[in-house]
């Protein structure tokens, strides 16, 4: 029987409340997620970021130039227009489709107690049916 000292530590987890200001908005949440990783004390592992919503997503993309997020918002609006004769009665079908395209989670390696993001990369909450407050779930799993 394993000793109590060999029991697996529970993975640090938490949640951020993120308030959006527009119907479609990409918000850089990198600093908040990085702080959660730092506060966890995990030096090496995986950070999972997830939004439990059907009209919001998560992506990793360039965060050095805010025009990139604006371009992404514009491109998604062209790909999936708001009013295109959808069947869903709530009027937010475009939001569901955009979420399906970008996804609702991201996985980032942790090394040296920090997120292993590329030089220009950041983590974005993608709002497609705002403004509202969204939940961003973060789980940090040590190696």
Any domain includes 100: yes
Q: What string of H, E and C letters represents the secondary structure of 41-86?
A: CCCEEEEEEECCCCCEEEEEEECCCHHHHHHHHHHHHHHCCCCCCC
Task: Report the relative pairing of strands 25-28 and 56-62 from DSSP bridges.
Answer: unpaired
Write out pLDDT tens, residues 2-55. 444 445 566 778 999 999 999 999 999 999 999 999 999 999 999 999 999 999
Closest CA to 62 of 53, 71, 51: 71
Residue 12: predicted pLDDT: 78
Any domain includes 51: no
Residue 7: predicted pLDDT: 56
Residue 108: predicted pLDDT: 98
Any domain includes 129: yes
Chain centroid offset of residue 9 CA: 25
pTM: 0.91
Calpha distance 35→131 (Å, rounded): 25
Residue 134: predicted pLDDT: 98
Write out pLDDT tens, residues 98-115. 999 999 999 999 999 999
Any domain includes 23: no
Write out pLDDT tens, residues 78-88. 999 999 899 99
β partners of residue 13: 139
* Domain residue limits at 130: 83-143
Q: Which residues 6+ apart lie within 8 Å of 45 measured at CB?
A: 109, 110, 140, 141, 142, 143
* Most distant CA pair in the chain, distance: 62
* Residue carrying structure tokens 């403004």: 131
Residue 1: predicted pLDDT: 46
Residue 5: predicted pLDDT: 46
Domain count of the chain? 1
Residue 6: predicted pLDDT: 47
Any domain includes 92: yes
């Amino acid at each position: 029987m394993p000793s109590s000292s060999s029991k697996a530590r529970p993975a640090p987890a938490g949640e951020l409340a993120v308030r959006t200001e527009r119907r479609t908005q990409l918000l850089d949440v990198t600093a908040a997620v990085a702080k959660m990783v730092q506060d966890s004390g995990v030096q090496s592992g995986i950070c999972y970021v997830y939004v439990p919503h059907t009209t919001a997503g998560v992506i990793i993309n360039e965060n050095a130039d805010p025009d990139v997020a604006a371009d992404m918002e514009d491109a998604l609006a062209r790909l999936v227009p708001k009013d295109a004769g959808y069947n869903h009665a709530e009027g937010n079908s475009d939001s569901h489709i955009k979420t399906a395209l970008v996804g609702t989670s991201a996985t980032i390696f942790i090394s040296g107690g920090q997120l292993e993001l590329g030089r220009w990369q950041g983590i974005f909450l993608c709002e497609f049916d705002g403004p509202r407050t969204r939940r961003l779930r973060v789980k940090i799993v040590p190696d």
